[in-house]
Amino acid sequence: MHINDLSINSKPLSTELHDLANKFEQHPVTLAEVIVVLEERAYTLLIIILALPFCVPITVPGLSVPLGLVIAIVAGRFALGRPPWLPQKLLGTKLPARYFRTLMEATSKIVRLLERLLRPRWLALTATPRLVRLHALMVCIAAIALLIPAPIPFSNTLPALGILFVAAGTMERDGPAILVGYFFTALGVAYFVLIAFMGTQAWDFIRDKLAGMF
């Protein structure tokens, strides 16, 4: 994933999002167009933007699978040390103008909060390419959890928060934020394991009851 050069004053993420919202206010935007506008930080910022709509305790119908897949592919390639890439079909995915504008406005408060909180700290956690690849792997794991279509509260929120904090923390070289992202990712995986276990137990109970009736 991209790491901001501490010697260069990069544009704040909120400014990037504002520019995007203005540029594509009147017509649908494709992921390819978003990547062109974001330039060098494109794929890391794309991961953050796509995770933001899920950082609320509800599911987002129809979007977690395709957007989670995009995040998983991008983060997976970062984890393997390969250049970012997406299939042409996914690059052509269109986000309606009204939805895109709403998305930018709805996430602006979260982004401003992140900009106040994130700063270079615990630089040892992003000191080597191997560590950055490890963080990308964690984002990929969280994205796989995100794309599971489970209509259960917090099933999207926990992995999305993991993606958000690990990706943003890595980009801004903020070690504590990265660790918070690891915590949310682990919590999300544990949540899915617990749901699966409870589902298995419920099925066994129902099966035993039905077997006793016949």
pLDDT digits (tens, 9 = 90+) for 144-196: 888 776 666 667 788 889 999 998 888 888 999 999 999 999 888 888 778 76
Residue 1 counted as domain residue: no
At 179 the pLDDT is 94
For residue 145, what pLDDT is reported? 84
Give residue 194's pLDDT.
Answer: 80
pLDDT value, residue 209: 47
Q: Is 7 exposed, middle or buried (0-12, 13-18, 19+ CB in 10 A)?
A: exposed
* Three-class secondary structure assignment of 159-210: HHHHHHHHHHHHHHCEHHHHHHHHHHHHHHHHHHHHHHHHHHHHHHHHHHHH
User: For the chain, how many structural domains are there in total?
Assistant: 1
- Three-state DSSP at 82 gives coil
Q: Give the C-alpha separation, 2 to 24, whole Å.
A: 24
How far from chain centre, in Å, is Cα 108?
16
Average pLDDT per 10 consecutive residues for the chain, totaling 214 residues: 55 70 73 73 79 68 74 88 79 71 68 79 87 91 80 76 90 90 89 72 50 52
Q: 30 lies in a domain?
A: yes
Residue 2 lies in a domain: no
Which amino acid type is present at position 177? A
Does the residue 4 lie in any domain?
A: no
Range of the domain at 94: 13-213
95 contact partners, CB below 8 Å, separation of at least 6: 28, 29, 30, 31, 103
Q: What is the pLDDT of residue 144?
A: 87
